[in-house]
Structure 1
Amino acid sequence: MNDVRALLQEAVADPPGDETDLSAVLLGGRQRVRRRRGGGVLGSTVALGVAAATLTLVTSGGADPGRVAEHRVPRPEGPVLRVSDAGTAVEGRDYDLLASYTNRDLESRNGQYFDGVTDDGLILFRDGPHGLRNRVRWALRDPATGVNDWLPDPPAGVDQPRALRLGADRLYFLATPLDGRGPFRLLVLDRATRTWSTLVWPGLPRAEEYDAAFGPDGRIYVGVQAAAASPPPGGWPTGPDGEADDAAAEDDTNDLWSVAPGDLADVRDEKTRVGVFTFTESALVWTTQRDGTREQVHVRDLRTGAEHDFDPRLGARCNVLSFRASGDRIVIGQYCGTYDDGRDDRIQVLTTDGETVTTLQGDSIDGWLADGSGDGHLVQVRAWRPDQEGDLVYDLDTDRLLRVSDSVSSWSMGGPVPAGSLLVDRAYGEDGGSSASMIPDKGAVQWLIRWRS
């Protein structure tokens, strides 16, 4: 498949009319993702705090020689794959196309898009946010027919709730108060009764930022922000590519708590300080801190309590952007600084014992384990550099890296998906659809695929 455009079909239903004032839409609309953090999903987490930076750059645009020994992108340890090593994925052989949708104008209309896939295979179809109150509505969309079953409107007073878990019986969303303050709370839709409820645990400490994930024991684990550094005076230094370079940032940690979904009085301090965290089917996995040079990975067996840690050998200047685990594999997406010859972006695959399996390395790439929760095996790789732009898939089971598309959208979309599925998007714009071109993409094309292993 040399031209992925042949795969894309528009949905049968047009977006509804929108009479919203343009300024209101732009205030609360979909945001373009910064290239370095483009599309990344912090797997087990929901909110990604701003990373701190202590690094300064020399005026030539390279790294400070006092902090970094070389100006060229360093090669990581272990086997290395690059975007140029990828083969081409073919529909019908490597994957099946299940559904697609085209939104021509996310810039001013802020329309509709796929927001995740439920465990029983329905697409969470999102409309909005719209208006001064950033109201959102959802439907469950049958990928085979394109028919939307519109759900009751969620409770008012939350700003762009994010999908946390899309189960066959309940849908869970992290709710952010409109004023930016408030306790950790979840919106829950019971699919059988089609009723919404709001869950708040009074015993959980308040914080400005939270991370959250369901554990294999059914509890919801919450990272309550404990420490976060501020940008240095004058803001982050700028790299040769014109972007802020916060590589080698330090700190950014959370205190780990857990709560029971069915008991608002059941709040437990896990007495563990984490950077980012995730789960396999039997273990809690976390880092010492989110960013910086003192990074360590810890693995705790939830059945026995046995614990070990190791140095993941991230490199001298690596910040963690995504962190997921499945089976005996840990996948860490990283930004490792901007050098004179490009950016050092990595997706590192390790065993839970600390052995390096492979590292996907490149200039302007991002990646994450697409379908974790214990049984995932697909790493979604997004390449932003104009000559390599597109979505790729690295299959942990077959050790294959295959290209699926020839462009990516600069709009942030997507959400949780079941194992074996992927939500892929590409640019839709006046120039024919390249997010790296001089004319920005106004819209996006999304499609849901099922991978063939």
Structure 2
Amino acid sequence: MVNELKELMRQNVASPPPDDLDLQAVLGAGRRRVRVRRSAGAGAAALATAAVVTVAVTLLPHGGQQATPADHRPAPDAPTVRLAGAADAVAGRDYRVLTSYTNDNLDRDNGQYLDGVTDDGLVLFRDGPRSDQLYPRFALMDPGTGAKDWLPRPHVGQNQTWPVSLGRERLVLLGLRNDTGDGGTLVAHVFDRTAGAWSTITWPGLPDADPFHAVAGPDGRLYVSVPFTQGKIPEGGWPTQPGGDAEDADAEGDTYRLWSVSLTDVGDVRDEGLTVGDVAFTDSAMVWTDSSNGAAGQVHVRDLASGEEHSFDPHSGERCNLLAFGATGDRIVMSQYCGTYDDGRDDRVQVLTTDGDQVVTVQDDGVDGVLAGRSGSGDALVLTSYSREAGGTYLYDLDRDRLLRLSDAVARFSLGGPVPAGQFLWSTPVNHGHGSTQWLGELLR
């Protein structure tokens, strides 16, 4: 019986997650967002980082009515650039590579990944479960030498985890344990770097939620979004594009109730009394939208010191669905799908100030973007394009307002994690697309 169970477990972890998962990533980890209406099962993906996952589009039901697109994409209400205007990034001049890691064939077996960088510059290295290793293990790796300090094995079983905080004193990995029947229990696995030991935290006072979104705040608390309302599919289903995909531009968004929890006191659970869409932090402000995964509504900014708030219309566009959201310094980033037209998809990555001023919008067919860096930090925007003409990874330097092209191809596997300001992660394909090389880079000034 024991041997049979072990064999089943080995088969279960012999490969990376399947193609139908939708892990988002969020806070500074480069990863692809599904560009059509997403299913309700994709919530844990909105954590700060994403584990390895092959990219696929998930459609909700749509009807037989064919969408009739306009002749061409409407111009954003902002200074606008296209990917064709990017300059080629030059290693040694624009950036430098700190380290890289290659998995030759992730279709055949799970692999090893750079899961982010700690505040003191060490890479969190994850050795994923696979056919000859039942459980994941982690190390702190020196990016310069590749030397690894292997940590004790955390008690995560085979559940997926996402690093949400990689500090000098502790590492925090989040996961979801579906054990209540009504939702999921949020679980934090915390590694005390001084004691050299893991502990597991759950919060009895936190509502169960699946899906959920979570982000670390600058006050050391974890802010958890619990589902409140979900956008509805129109009666009769979504219109259908000529290629057969659902046309869900201008979808009704989802909302969440915002809670916060302490990472040191399981009894410290707070209802923040807010209904939100997406949430992000800078060092001095909390920023949120009215809804997510649809029309964003207003953007709200709260000064963390004074408590003063202001709101503004981001002028995203009449048909734009918010798919990714981030903030750093005085900048806000919104990645959106805004419909399909005769001349291609209208995908946008919009950069604004926290006062609502338009900085720039990158508009192109098949582009999305997230802030590099951990929550509230970062000075670069990692853009990914999946179009045939402009496919690759791009970097928008927020300080210098310049657009650089890092690569001309994108791996099928979404990899990444939180990194310090000035650093960024991206991936390129190897072995005819079966594998991936992860790169950790740093901007040069």
Q: Same fold (TM over 0.5)?
A: yes
Q: Does 1:383 align with 2:381?
A: no
Describe the superposition over 1:188-209 as per-residue Cα deviations: whole angstroms up to 9, x where unpaired.
1112222111111111111112
Specify the alignment match of 2:150 in structure 1: 150
Question: Pairwise CA RMSD of aligned residues?
Answer: 3.0
Matched residue type, 1:413: L
Aligned to 2:39: none
1:268 aligns with 2:260: no
Deviation at 1:449, TM superposition (A): 0.8
Q: Which residue number in structure 2 is paired with residue 39 of structure 1? A: 31
Following the alignment from structure 2 to structure 1, what is the Cα–Cα distance between the partners of residues 395 and 364? 15
Alignment deviations for residues 174-200 of structure 1 (CA, whole Å, 9 cap, x no partner): 112266953222111112222111111
In 1, the alpha carbon distance for the partners of 2:162 and 2:321 equals 23
TM-aligned CA distance change 1:104 to 1:155, over 3 Å: same
Q: What SS does the aligned partner of 1:374 have? A: coil
CA distance in 1, matches of 2:214, 2:137: 22
Q: Which residue of 1 aligns with 2:105?
A: 105
Alignment of 1:191-230 (within 5 A): 191-229=193-231
Give the one of 12, 23, 48 matched to 1:24. Answer: 12
Contact 1:52/1:251 (8 A) holds in 2: no
SS at match of 1:418: coil
Q: 2:296 & 2:327 partners in 1: Cα distance?
A: 20
Give 1:344-423 correspondences, 5 Å limit: 344-423=346-425
Q: Do 1:211 and 1:222's aligned partners in 2 also have CA atoms closer than 8 Å?
A: yes
**Once the two structures are superposed, what CA deviation does each residue of 1:226-280 show, in whole Å capped at 9, x if it has no partner?**
1224556787554345544432211311101111221111111110000000111
TM (normalized to structure 2)? 0.85
CA distance in 2, matches of 1:152, 1:447: 26
Three-state SS of the structure 2 residue aligned to 1:334 is strand
CA contact (8 A) 1:79 1:359 kept: yes
Deviation at 1:330, TM superposition (A): 0.4
Instruction: Report the counterpart of residue 9 of structure 1 in structure 2.
Output: none
In the alignment, what sits opposite 2:3? none
TM-score by length of 1: 0.84
Q: 1-side partners of 2:185 and 2:20: how far apart?
A: 27
Alpha carbons 2:20, 2:58 under 8 Å: kept: no
Q: Distance in 1 between matches of 2:296 and 2:168?
A: 40
1:26 and 1:130, CA in 2 relative to 1: closer, same or farther beyond 3 A? closer
Residue identity in the other structure for 1:316: E
Query: Which letter does structure 1 place at the counterpart of 2:121?
Result: G
Deviating more after overlay: 257-266 vs 122-131: 122-131
Alignment of 1:127-138 (within 5 A): 127-130=127-130, 135-138=135-138
SS of the residue 1:407 aligns to: coil
Q: Report the equivalent of 1:78.
A: 78
- Partner amino acid, structure 2, of 1:255: R
Is 2:211–2:227's contact at 8 Å kept on the other side of the alignment? yes
- SS of 2:93's equivalent in the other structure is coil
Residue in structure 2 matched with residue 299 of structure 1 by the alignment = 301
Query: How far off its partner does 1:381 sit?
Result: 0.7
Question: Alpha-carbon deviation of 1:28?
Answer: 5.6
Contact map agreement 1:240 1:339 (CA 8 A) in 2:
no
Residue of structure 1 aligned with 2:290, choices 288, 291, 309: 288
Residue-by-residue CA offset, 1:76-133 (whole Å, 9 max, x unaligned): 1111011100001111110111111111101111111211111111111122233599
* 3-state SS in 1 of match to 2:177: coil
Pick from 434, 438, 448: which aligns with 2:440?
Answer: 448
Unaligned runs of 5+ residues in structure 1 are 1-18, 64-69, 431-440
Whole-angstrom distance in 2 between the partners of 1:76 and 1:314: 7
Residues 144 and 35 (structure 1), Cα distance of their counterparts in 2 relative to 1, 3 Å cut? closer
- Quick check: 1:382–1:389 contact (8 Å CA) kept in 2? yes
Any idea what the Cα deviations from partners look like across 1:33-67, whole Å, max 9, x if unmatched?
Answer: 779998148887569xx9998987853x544xxxx
Contact 2:292 2:321 in 1 (8 A): yes
CA shift for structure 1 position 165: 0.9
Cα deviation per residue 1:332-390 (whole Å; 9 max; x = unaligned)? Answer: 11111222221111110001111111001100011011125334210001111122111
Identical counterparts, % of pairs: 48
Is the CA contact 2:185–2:202 (under 8 Å) kept in the aligned structure 1? Answer: yes
Structure 1 residues 294 and 407 mapped into 2: Cα distance closer, same or farther (>3 Å)? Answer: closer
5+ residue gaps, structure 2: 1-6, 34-44, 51-56
Answer with 179-188 or 302-311: which moved more.
Answer: 179-188
* Whole-angstrom CA distance in 2 between matches of 1:207 and 1:99: 37
CA separation of 1:32 and 1:390: change in aligned 2, threshold 3 A: farther
What CA distance in whole angstroms lies between the structure 1 residues aligned with 2:239 and 2:362? 26
Cα distance in 2 between the residues matched to 1:57 and 1:78: 35
Deviations 1:282-313 (A, max 9, x none): 11100001133461100111111111111111
Relative to structure 1, the CA distance from residue 110 to residue 53 in structure 2 (aligned partners, 3 Å threshold; closer, same or farther) is: closer
Give the equivalent residue in structure 1 for 2:189.
Answer: 187
C-alpha distance in 2 between matches for 1:327 and 1:447: 25
